[in-house]
Amino acid sequence: MDGIIPLYKERGLSSHDCVNHLRKLLHMKKIGHSGTLDPTVDGVLPICVGSATKVVDYLMTHRKVYRGSVTLGYATETEDLEGAEVARKAIEEPFTDDQIDAVLQSMVGELKQIPPMFSAVKVNGRKLYQYALAGEEVERPVRVVQINEFRRLGASRYDAANQTQTVDFEVSCSKGTYVRTLAVEVGEQLGVPAVMSSLTRHESGGFTLEEAFSLDQVREMFANDDFSFLYPLDRALPDYPQVELTDEVWEVVQHGVWLLQDEVGLDAPIIALRYQNQTKCLYKLVDHKYKPLKMFSTK
């Protein structure tokens, strides 16, 4: 069994939980996910099965799209609703939607982020949340991420009783982006503490939420010998020109033989070689020759 499952991860489950459930259900060990989702976040989580685990890195290069909300007026230690409150500032006069839009727009482009202490980023061999739980501070690495779009969804909502304001948003971003941290940064630019109050991932690895299957759906389909929840690994490789191989050429490609550029008839830097309607490998152009870059299957 090989392919990609666009899984709908429910809230309350970790990404690792989902992998473990599928290993037991499908009776397979070779399974991995492409991009962690926090337990408090739901949404699409592409899971690679069998030889498709070799395209995890390619899935990670696709954009990610989230929809969620940021609540202005207080902050927590985890930057989401799971953590204890650490700051509060009453919003006596709600921000206008124009003010909020200006802040969101200012964050589009290349952005430097410091991962939150309650995250799985490793520093000196330990995960940041392990330092946080032990009450230890550690210098965190600065990472550069790309924000493609950051926009408000609908009118913001002011809670006069709690003197907070909530903004629904959609963000399209690169891998490695901490949306919790984006929410906090929105508050910082407005001069108030902030927290990410909800989040759902709508797109990842080229798969949308509408294409995703829940664990219960996968379980039922598998029991009925219906494997349509599995997508071919080609879904991870849409940007590479495809070359269909003859029996003779596939025979030598299986052994890693280089191909002359003239034989292929292309000048793309990377090409996908296919045999019998399956992508078998990627080849890279070097000095007018295509050389093996990544082999997915030799069968």
Residue 144's DSSP bridge partners are: 112
- H-state helical runs in 139-288: 179-190, 215-223, 247-253, 261-264
Q: Which residues of 274-283 are buried (b: 16+ CB within 10 A; e: fewer)?
A: bbeeebbbbb
Q: Which residues, at least 6 apart from 221, have a Cβ–Cβ distance to it below 8 Å? A: 213, 227, 228, 229
Give the predicted TM-score (pTM) of the model.
0.89
- CA separation, residue 266 to residues 203, 238, 258, 269 (Å): 31, 16, 14, 9
The tokens describing 75, both together, are 């902050």
Q: Tell me which residue of 42, 95, 91, 86 sits closest to 68, measured CA to CA.
A: 42
Tell me which H or E stretch contains 100: helix 97-106
Beta strand pairing call for 194-204 and 74-76:
unpaired
- H-state helical runs in the chain: 15-26, 56-60, 97-106, 128-133, 179-190, 215-223, 247-253, 261-264
Length, in residues, of the chain: 299
Q: Tell me which residue of 185, 186, 190, 170 sits closest to 94, measured CA to CA.
A: 190
pLDDT value, residue 299: 80
CB 243 within 8 A of CB 277: no
Residue 31, SS3 per DSSP: strand
Tell me which H or E stretch contains 87: strand 85-88
What value does the CA radius of gyration of the chain take, rounded to a whole number of Å? Answer: 23
Residue 229, SS3 per DSSP: coil
What's CA 4's distance to the chain center, in Å? Answer: 14
The tokens describing 161, both together, are 């009783």
The tokens describing 183, both together, are 């929410």
What tens digit of pLDDT does each residue of 104-150 get?
999 999 999 877 666 666 777 777 677 777 777 777 778 899 999 99
The tokens describing 281, both together, are 């490998």
- HSE toward the beta carbon, residue 230, CA cutoff 13 A: 20
Digit-by-digit pLDDT tens for the chain (299 residues) are 889 999 999 999 999 999 999 999 999 999 988 878 888 899 999 999 998 999 999 998 899 999 999 999 999 988 999 889 999 999 999 999 999 999 999 999 999 987 766 666 677 777 767 777 777 777 777 889 999 999 999 999 999 999 999 999 999 999 889 899 999 999 999 999 999 999 999 999 999 999 999 999 999 999 999 999 999 999 999 999 999 999 999 999 999 999 999 888 899 999 999 999 889 999 999 999 999 999 998 88
pLDDT value, residue 54: 92
Active-site amino acid positions: 38
The tokens describing 285, both together, are 């152009």
